[in-house]
């Protein structure tokens, strides 16, 4: 029997006021009121990211077919279920892309979603039941899993069954190892509400690890993991969920070959899904990418007893999408000179240190996230004071190649005004901010790092993490002041004066950090040691000499302070 429909039943956790009050809403209520909700409020930021991408898949599907008034594009042919059956004719392609761009702008001006989104969901109402014999949400049917068992899979049945406590990524407990410091009592770990189960089903498809052994094809070994798990993520947010979704809604993709018909997973028949996931395929549309499955999952009750504690999942690895699909992905950072290599966010590194990889268009050797390109093209539609929060997120594994078990989560952000973030002129704000960040990083990494290496030698410290830990301390000291400086930048500010303001603060923080070294210095630090220089000659070194070298380098790289900033 069909029950718990995601359109009608509450499952999306949203923040509804600035007191932090949360509420569960269904898809219908969500799209009708997204402009009144502040943010998603799931069990962890990675879950919110996965759920947001699922919601974006709905938007991509609807607005690739209908404009902001709910009218079908004249160049798109739709059937009675509002589904696009044919690609847009080549001769209409330019007009279609213009229409997509106009739709985004019209949506932004309207400030809320039109009724067409809910009408589309109603047309596909039968595909959003969590429990259903024919179309269970984000799952395969008993018939399909039996087919997998009989024809293709490559390991024992028991090793492909998991409990809810494994897909609950706040626990991630398998049947072999007990999760320490779990947020739930052992007796309650498998007890998920229907709303929680839906959120974790969506999340697990994005952050599944490599520990399960059962693969859809006997002859093909795969270490397939969730798409989000492999790449990490970058996304923008604002003061309400409508704006947040629009900021990340790349309706007109920067790569023309991806402005094609959208195919979310719920529009496929079960038999089509089965055949589709037997191949490592190239995905060419965002609705399909955002709803891609890393696992075929079948939900059932152990011992045929219908209770939440008896809920089990039969999971089978699918084949990962082809690597070229990375070009389609608009919500990730990319490595320099490597168009297909994701630059996954690393823990213990503030988000603003990746400014060059997220915002800076002047770096010709690095592909920017598609969401950043999108906002650059739309900047004329934003008000001067529109603020954007830039977020980076990463699910961190245990480093074991064969399992890649999720052990922690990294999430960080910084704020700045949209007009500043899209000022891409040669001497515009983006270039100037990037120069400030790179100078700051160079001083800490190179100059302060060299000073720390000298101290390590003088003190004969054998602890290998002494230098990185102390550099981390300085990064921590400058972190909040830099975030505040960045968020405070107005497009009308004098750029030179604003730079001076930050460099004055940086000098002061470095002085404080150095003073702490001097305050705790020992007699050995001042007597120093004799070391060999590059020419193999003896050279005296002590903390005073190392300090003079550091400050000489800092003073050389930072501009002289004007009278307005000498007292900072």
Q: What are 427-441's pLDDT values in tens digits?
A: 899 999 999 999 999
pLDDT band (50, 70, 90) for residue 261: very high
The DSSP line for 169-233 is TTT---SSSPPTT-SS-GGGTT---HHHHHHHHHHHHHH--S----BSSTT-------HHHHH-E
Token pair listed for 397: 């594994």
Distances (CA, A) of 540 to 460, 462, 545, 546, 554: 15, 20, 9, 10, 22
Task: Give the best-scoring range by mean pLDDT among 189-198, 304-313, 419-428, 541-550.
Answer: 541-550
pLDDT band (50, 70, 90) for residue 156: very low
Whether pLDDT at 85 is above 90: no
Whether pLDDT at 169 is above 60: no
**Conformation bin of residue 389: beta by default, left when phi > 0, alpha when psi is -120 to 50:** beta
Q: For residues 30 and 190, which has the higher predicted lDDT (pLDDT)? A: 30
User: What's the CA gap between 415 and 486, in Å, rounded?
Assistant: 7
Q: Which DSSP helix (H) or strand (E) runs through 399?
A: none
Q: How many CA atoms lie within 13 A of 568 on its CB side?
A: 18
Identify the pLDDT of residue 505.
96
Alpha helices in 366-494 (DSSP H): 370-377, 418-421, 429-442, 449-458, 466-488
Provide mean pLDDT across the span 51-71. Answer: 98
Within a domain: residue 243? Answer: no
Residue located via tokens 């990340």: 248
- Distance from the first to the final alpha carbon of the chain: 69
Provide mean pLDDT across the span 479-504. Answer: 95
Provide mean pLDDT across the span 364-388. Answer: 87
How many domains does the structure of the chain reveal? 1
Task: Give the best-scoring range by mean pLDDT among 178-192, 389-403, 547-561.
Answer: 547-561
Whether pLDDT at 410 is above 70: yes
Whether pLDDT at 295 is above 80: yes
Q: For residues 103 and 426, which has the higher predicted lDDT (pLDDT)? A: 103
Query: From the centroid of its chain, how far is CA 156?
Result: 35
Round the average pLDDT of the chain to a whole number and report it.
Answer: 88
Distances (CA, A) of 281 to 76, 193, 268, 324: 25, 34, 15, 10
Residues for the chain: how many in total? 568
Within a domain: residue 485? Answer: yes
If DSSP codes are grouped into helix, strand and coil, which group holds residue 86?
A: coil
Whether pLDDT at 347 is above 50: yes
Tell me the β-bridge partners of 317.
215, 295
Best CA proximity match to 62, nearest among 114, 4, 112, 109: 114
Task: Give the best-scoring range by mean pLDDT among 157-171, 183-197, 388-402, 424-438.
Answer: 424-438
Provide mean pLDDT across the span 216-244. Answer: 85
pLDDT band (50, 70, 90) for residue 364: low
Within a domain: residue 462? Answer: yes
Q: Which DSSP helix (H) or strand (E) runs through 304?
A: none
Within a domain: residue 218? Answer: no
Task: Give the best-scoring range by mean pLDDT among 129-133, 149-153, 318-322, 426-430.
Answer: 129-133
Whether pLDDT at 565 is above 60: no
Q: Are strands 387-397 and 406-417 parallel, antiparallel or unpaired?
A: antiparallel
Domain that holds residue 558: 425-568
Identify the pLDDT of residue 137.
98
User: What's the CA gap between 330 and 368, in Å, rounded?
Assistant: 8
pLDDT band (50, 70, 90) for residue 154: very low
Task: Give the best-scoring range by mean pLDDT among 88-102, 155-169, 549-563.
Answer: 88-102
Q: pLDDT tens for residues 232-257?
A: 999 999 999 999 999 999 999 988 88
Burial class (CB in 10 A: 0-12, 13-18, 19+), 86: exposed
Residue 478 phi, psi (nearest 5): -90, -10
- Among 24-33, 156-165, 225-234, 385-394, the least confident range: 156-165
176: how many CB neighbours lie within 10 A of its CB?
Answer: 6
Share of residues in the chain with pLDDT > 70 (%): 88
Identify the pLDDT of residue 18.
95
**CATH code: domain of residue 502:** 1.10.132.100
Within a domain: residue 558? Answer: yes
Best CA proximity match to 323, nearest among 281, 356, 273: 281
Task: Give the best-scoring range by mean pLDDT among 275-279, 314-318, 467-471.
Answer: 467-471
Q: For residues 190 and 395, which has the higher predicted lDDT (pLDDT)? A: 395
Within a domain: residue 166? Answer: no
Residues 6+ apart with CB under 8 A from 137: 6, 127, 128, 129, 130, 198, 201, 266
Identify the pLDDT of residue 104.
97
Within a domain: residue 59? Answer: no
Tell me the β-bridge partners of 396.
408
Residue located via tokens 């994701």: 342
If DSSP codes are grouped into helix, strand and coil, which group holds residue 426?
A: coil
If DSSP codes are grouped into helix, strand and coil, which group holds residue 506?
A: helix
Identify the pLDDT of residue 568.
43
Whether pLDDT at 21 is above 90: yes
Best CA proximity match to 552, nearest among 514, 501, 525: 514
Query: From the centroid of its chain, how far is CA 104?
Result: 22
Residue located via tokens 């799952």: 139
Asked if residue 42 lies in contact with residue 199, where contact means CB atoms within 8 angstroms, the answer is: yes
Sheet holding 161-162, edge to edge: 161-162, 311-317, 295-301
Whether pLDDT at 23 is above 50: yes
Burial class (CB in 10 A: 0-12, 13-18, 19+), 519: exposed
Task: Give the best-scoring range by mean pLDDT among 76-90, 189-203, 526-540.
Answer: 76-90
Identify the pLDDT of residue 306.
73
Identify the pLDDT of residue 155.
46
């Amino acid at each position: 029997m069909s029950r718990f429909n995601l359109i009608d039943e509450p499952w999306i956790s949203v923040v509804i006021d600035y007191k932090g009050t949360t509420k569960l809403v269904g898809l219908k209520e969500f799209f009708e009121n997204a402009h009144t909700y502040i943010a998603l409020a799931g069990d962890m930021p990675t879950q919110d990211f996965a759920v947001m991408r699922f919601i974006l898949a709905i938007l991509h599907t609807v607005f690739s077919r209908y404009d902001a008034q709910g009218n079908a594009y004249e160049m798109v042919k739709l059937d009675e279920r509002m589904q696009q059956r044919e690609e847009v004719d080549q001769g209409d392609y330019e007009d279609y892309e213009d229409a997509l761009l106009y739709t985004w702008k019209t949506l932004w001006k309207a400030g809320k979603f039109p009724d067409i989104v809910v009408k589309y969901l109603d047309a596909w109402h039968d595909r959003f039941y969590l429990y259903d014999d024919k179309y269970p949400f984000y799952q395969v049917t008993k018939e399909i899993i039996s087919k997998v068992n009989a024809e293709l899979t490559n390991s024992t049945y028991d090793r492909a069954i998991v409990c809810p406590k494994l897909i609950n990524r706040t626990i991630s407990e398998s049947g072999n190892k007990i999760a320490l410091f779990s947020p739930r009592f052992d007796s309650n770990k498998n007890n998920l509400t229907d709303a929680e189960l839906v959120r974790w089903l969506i999340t697990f498809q994005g952050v599944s690890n490599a520990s399960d052994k059962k693969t859809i094809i006997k002859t093909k070994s795969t270490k397939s993991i969730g798409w989000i798990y492999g790449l990490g993520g970058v996304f923008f947010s604002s003061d309400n969920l409508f704006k947040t979704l629009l900021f990340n809604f790349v309706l007109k993709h920067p790569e023309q070959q991806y402005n094609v018909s959208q195919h979310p997973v719920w529009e496929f028949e079960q038999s089509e899904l089965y055949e589709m996931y037997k191949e490592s395929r190239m995905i060419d549309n965002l609705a399909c990418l955002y709803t891609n499955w890393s696992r075929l999952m079948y939900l059932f009750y152990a011992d045929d007893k219908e209770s939440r504690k008896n809920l089990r999942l039969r999971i089978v690895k699918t084949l990962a999408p082809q690597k070229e699909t990375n070009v389609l992905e608009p919500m990730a950072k990319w490595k320099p000179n490597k168009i297909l290599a994701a630059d996954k966010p690393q823990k213990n590194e503030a988000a603003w240190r990746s400014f060059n990889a997220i915002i800076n268009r002047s770096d010709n050797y690095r592909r920017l996230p598609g969401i950043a390109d999108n906002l650059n093209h739309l900047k004329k539609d934003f008000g001067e004071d529109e603020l954007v929060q830039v977020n980076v997120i990463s699910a961190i594994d245990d480093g074991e190649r064969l399992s890649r078990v999720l052990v922690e989560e990294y999430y960080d952000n910084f704020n700045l005004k949209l007009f500043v973030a899209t000022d891409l002129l040669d001497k515009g704000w983006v270039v100037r901010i990037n120069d400030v960040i790179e100078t700051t990083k160079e001083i800490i990494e190179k100059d302060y790092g060299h000073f720390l290496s000298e101290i390590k030698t003088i003190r004969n410290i054998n602890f290998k993490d002494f230098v990185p830990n102390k550099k981390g301390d300085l990064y921590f000291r400058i972190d909040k002041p830099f975030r505040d400086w960045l968020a405070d930048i107005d497009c009308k500010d004098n750029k030179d004066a604003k730079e001076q303001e930050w460099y004055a603060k940086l000098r002061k923080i470095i002085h404080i950090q150095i003073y702490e070294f001097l305050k705790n210095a020992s007699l050995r630090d001042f007597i120093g040691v004799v070391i060999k220089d590059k020419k193999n000659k003896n050279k005296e070194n002590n903390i005073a000499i190392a300090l003079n070298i550091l400050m000489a380098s800092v003073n050389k790289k930072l501009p002289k302070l004007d009278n307005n900033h000498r007292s900072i």
